[in-house]
Amino acid sequence: MEGRRAAARDSDRDPVISRRTVLGGVLIGGAGLADIGLWRYRSRRDPSLGAAGPATEPQPLAIPEIMDGVLHDGLRTYDLELRTGVSHFFPGLDTPTLGINGDYLGPTLRIQAGSDVRINVTNRIGAASTLHWHGLHLPARMDGGPHQVIRDGETWSPEFTVKQRAAMFWYHSHMVPHTGRQVYQGLAGLIYVEDDETSQLNLPRDYGIDDIPLVLQDRAFNGDGSLLYDTGMRSRMMGMRGDVMLVNGTVRPYFAAQTDKLRLRLLNGSNSRFHTLGFADGRAFFQIGTDGGLLRHPVETARLTLAPGERAQIIVNLGDGRPAQLRTYQTPVSGQMGQMMRRMMGDDLVFDVLQIRPEAQRRISGPLPQKLIALVPPDPTRAVRMRRFVLRMGMMGGGMMGGTGSERGMMGSRGMMGGMRGEGGMRGGFTINGKEMDMNRVDETVKVGTSEIWQIENPSMMAHPFHIHDVQFRILDRNGAPPAPGERGLKDTVVVNVGERVRLLLDFVDYADPDRPYMYHCHILEHEDAGMMGQFVVTAR
Ligand code: C2O
Ligand code: CU
Ligand code: CU
């Protein structure tokens, strides 16, 4: 079933990451790794310590090709081909990968809001796949979810109208239960939707010059350069994590800035790792956008956390002419269990993300607008009903967070190995409202033209990024408190921290289809593959 040529090599061994974690942060990669110098690219506990070993040459940041499509029968048409390829992340090493129109990742599709589009997706990876338009509002049969399988050699051609505001969306494989593996190998890319309201703002928008997409993905590698997709217990539990950061597929990237402001469009494209971003010199930046659009006002901050699937747009000021190192910091976790989980996972790894080098001659970008777009606060009184979604992990159970006595504890009746399905084939465990994903079961039915409140509850021991297809929602509150300023925009993925109850306001509009469901799921891809996913249909009134 899986494309063998490009498949990441499984390993019975632990990935190197764990070996180092056990050694308390000392960088020992094992002889094989040291021989080929791979260890030099790996993350470090604290970049300021310079613990990553001898300096290696940074590489220019890869910028995905931009595609504007061609007009065909009144439809803006894009041709995509899923392929197997070979990437060169490290000098002298071949890494078998998957890509779209290339060896790794895919082109950035640029679409004007209001356009009617057709995307021809041809699958040539030697295995079944899908391509899902994450964040786009469209009919369920165009969604590219697990029901729109494209068999090897076939072409799937969804058509839809882009009825959204300017934002960065993305596309990726949704081939349950191999989503995690296929995305890990490279089946993902970006979508820029542009509109007039945003184009009139004085914001950087020269693609690849001052409007820069950054796809953040941590990856693990075997000594021969092949990707290591670990299906061992820990990776399935916590999600697959690596100790090398790829940014648009580049290891240790730098970017030469020709302007005094940069707009960075960030996607956390990792399978499971949260990334908390900031600059090494402590400089603040402005967040201007969320998953589904711009914010009303720029929000000044020095740190930004993105969970898998989430996006943000930020403006970085380079007016002082000094280099700026974008890096990651430890993501704050709450409670003792959270800290324990982090230690277990070696989750204190932090990474250099992008070295920004301002050129001596820089174009002046002009002042950042104080007002961005019109966005009314969400009004919960228009909701016609409330639904609850309770996220659980079988192995470590719920029950830690004030759950009921019927929940399985850490060493519950099914034991530590109690549950997990997904690639390894074990059963049970990752559930929403006590149910694992079943392709043949519709979990929720909503009516088109109505609004609802969805309350997501997390009694498990890890934070989960909850993603809903078709809608851009608004966050009402977290445990009753209003969302942070950087979350007050359109969202399609929301972090639900341990012990949290997050309420969302959703509008279901335009498309009804009683026979084809949309998905909602945890965007830790190994959790999704293991069953933490459900289906809803939107029906006519
Ligand atoms: Cu980004 Cu259901 O996916
Ligand atoms: Cu999606
Ligand atoms: Cu999860």
Which has more confidence, 363 or 336? 363
Q: How confident is the model at residue 96 (pLDDT cuts 50, 70, 90)?
A: very high
Does residue 118 have its Cβ closer than 6 Å to ligand 1? Answer: no
pLDDT at 43: 60
Residue 525 counted as domain residue: yes
pLDDT at 326: 98
pLDDT at 516: 97
Give the residue-averaged pLDDT of 163-182: 97
Does residue 469 have its Cβ closer than 6 Å to ligand 1? Answer: yes
Ligand 1: nearest atom to the Cα of 521: 2
CATH number where 80 lies: 2.60.40.420
Q: Are 328 and 277 in contact (CB under 8 A)?
A: yes
Q: How many helices (H) and strands (E) does the chain have?
A: 7, 34
**Residue with CA at minimum distance from ligand 1 atom 3:** 134
Does residue 519 have its Cβ closer than 6 Å to ligand 1? Answer: yes
Does residue 309 have its Cβ closer than 6 Å to ligand 1? Answer: yes
48 pLDDT above the threshold of 80: no
Does residue 263 have its Cβ closer than 6 Å to ligand 1? Answer: no
Q: Which of 150, 171, 199 is the last residue of a domain?
A: 199
Q: Which of 363, 391, 418 is the last residue of a domain?
A: 363
- pLDDT tens across 260-310, in order? 999 999 999 999 999 999 999 999 999 999 999 999 999 999 999 999 999
- Determine how many CB atoms are found less than 10 A away from the CB of residue 197: 15
Does residue 311 have its Cβ closer than 6 Å to ligand 1? Answer: no
Does residue 467 have its Cβ closer than 6 Å to ligand 1? Answer: yes
> Which residue, 134, 219, 129, 220, is CA-closest to 170?
134
| Planar angle of CA 387, 389, 393, nearest 5 degrees | 170
Q: Tell me, in angstroms, the distance from the centre of ligand 2 to residue 472's CA.
A: 10
Q: Is the peptide bond before 253 cis (omega within 30 degrees of 0)?
A: no
The Cα–Cα gap between 217 and 252 comes to: 12
The phi and psi torsions of 439 (rounded to 5 degrees) equal -60, -25
pLDDT at 66: 98
Domain range for 65 is 4-30+61-199
Residue 373 counted as domain residue: no
Give the residue-averaged pLDDT of 111-132: 98
The ligand that comes nearest to the alpha carbon of residue 466 is 3
Ligand 1: nearest atom to the Cα of 145: 2
Residue 499 counted as domain residue: yes
Q: Tell me, in angstroms, the distance from the centre of ligand 3 to residue 463's CA.
A: 7
Task: Specify whether 414 is located in the same domain as 521.
Answer: yes
> Which residue, 515, 519, 506, is CA-closest to 471?
506
9 pLDDT above the threshold of 50: no
Ligand 1: nearest atom to the Cα of 533: 2
Structure tokens at 160: 């839809």
Which of helix, strand or coil describes residue 164? Answer: coil
Q: How confident is the model at residue 33 (pLDDT cuts 50, 70, 90)?
A: very low
Chain centroid offset of residue 233 CA: 22
Residue corresponding to tokens 């260890």: 39
pTM reported for the whole predicted model: 0.88
Q: Which of 301, 331, 363 is the last residue of a domain?
A: 363
The Cα–Cα gap between 251 and 239 comes to: 21
Task: Specify whether 228 is located in the same domain as 193.
Answer: no
Task: Specify whether 158 is located in the same domain as 247.
Answer: no
Give the residue-averaged pLDDT of 504-516: 98
* Contacts with 394 (C-beta within 8 Å, 6 or more apart), sequence order: 408, 414, 418, 419, 420, 428, 429, 430, 431
Q: Are 142 and 510 in contact (CB under 8 A)?
A: no
Q: Tell me, in angstroms, the distance from the centre of ligand 1 to residue 271's CA.
A: 11
Q: Tell me, in angstroms, the distance from the centre of ligand 1 to residue 96's CA.
A: 24
| Cα–Cα separations (whole angstroms), residue 33 to 11, 46, 384, 391 | 15, 21, 58, 39
**Residue with CA at minimum distance from ligand 1 atom 1:** 134
Q: Tell me, in angstroms, the distance from the centre of ligand 3 to residue 284's CA.
A: 30
* Contacts with 28 (C-beta within 8 Å, 6 or more apart), sequence order: 19, 20
pLDDT at 397: 41
Q: Tell me, in angstroms, the distance from the centre of ligand 2 to residue 533's CA.
A: 11
> Which residue, 145, 153, 240, is CA-closest to 537?
145
- pLDDT tens across 140-158, in order? 999 999 999 999 999 999 9
Q: What percent of the chain has pLDDT over 90?
A: 75
Residue 432 counted as domain residue: yes
Task: Specify whether 127 is located in the same domain as 195.
Answer: yes
454 pLDDT above the threshold of 50: yes
Give how many domains the chain has, as a whole number. Answer: 3
Q: Tell me, in angstroms, the distance from the centre of ligand 2 to residue 493's CA.
A: 8
Q: Tell me, in angstroms, the distance from the centre of ligand 3 to residue 453's CA.
A: 21
Ligand 1: nearest atom to the Cα of 134: 1
Which of helix, strand or coil describes residue 356? Answer: strand
Which has more confidence, 265 or 340? 265
DSSP state of 309: T
Ligand 1: nearest atom to the Cα of 520: 2
Task: Specify whether 262 is located in the same domain as 343.
Answer: yes
Task: Specify whether 125 is located in the same domain as 219.
Answer: no
Task: Specify whether 283 is located in the same domain as 393.
Answer: no
Per mean pLDDT, which range of 24-38, 100-114, 319-333 is the poorest?
24-38
35 pLDDT above the threshold of 90: no
Q: How confident is the model at residue 448 (pLDDT cuts 50, 70, 90)?
A: very high
Residue 17 counted as domain residue: yes
Task: Specify whether 219 is located in the same domain as 352.
Answer: yes
Task: Specify whether 429 is located in the same domain as 347.
Answer: no
Strand 211-219 with 261-268, pairing: parallel
Q: How confident is the model at residue 399 (pLDDT cuts 50, 70, 90)?
A: very low
Task: Specify whether 161 is located in the same domain as 253.
Answer: no
Does residue 521 have its Cβ closer than 6 Å to ligand 1? Answer: yes
Q: What percent of the chain has pLDDT over 70?
A: 82
pLDDT at 416: 36
Chain centroid offset of residue 250 CA: 17
* Contacts with 463 (C-beta within 8 Å, 6 or more apart), sequence order: 274, 307, 333, 338, 495, 496, 497, 498
Task: Specify whether 107 is located in the same domain as 178.
Answer: yes
Does residue 527 have its Cβ closer than 6 Å to ligand 1? Answer: no
The ligand that comes nearest to the alpha carbon of residue 396 is 3
- pLDDT tens across 415-444, in order? 333 344 555 444 458 999 999 999 999 999
Q: How confident is the model at residue 333 (pLDDT cuts 50, 70, 90)?
A: confident
Structure tokens at 48: 């300021």
Does residue 172 have its Cβ closer than 6 Å to ligand 1? Answer: yes
Q: Are 531 and 431 in contact (CB under 8 A)?
A: yes
Which has more confidence, 132 or 332? 132
Task: Specify whether 396 is located in the same domain as 312.
Answer: no
Residue 524 counted as domain residue: yes
47 pLDDT above the threshold of 70: no
16 pLDDT above the threshold of 50: no
Ligand 1: nearest atom to the Cα of 132: 3
Q: Tell me, in angstroms, the distance from the centre of ligand 3 to residue 392's CA.
A: 8
The Cα–Cα gap between 442 and 317 comes to: 48
Which has more confidence, 511 or 18? 511
Q: If you compute the radius of gyration of the chain from its CA atoms, what whole number of angstroms results? A: 22
26 pLDDT above the threshold of 70: no
Question: What's the length of the chain?
Answer: 541
Strands (E) across 348-483 are located at 352-363, 383-392, 431-432, 444-447, 450-457, 464-468, 474-478
Q: Tell me, in angstroms, the distance from the centre of ligand 1 to residue 286's CA.
A: 27
Does residue 174 have its Cβ closer than 6 Å to ligand 1? Answer: yes
pLDDT at 28: 30
Q: Are 238 and 265 in contact (CB under 8 A)?
A: no
Residue 204 counted as domain residue: no
Residue 447 counted as domain residue: yes
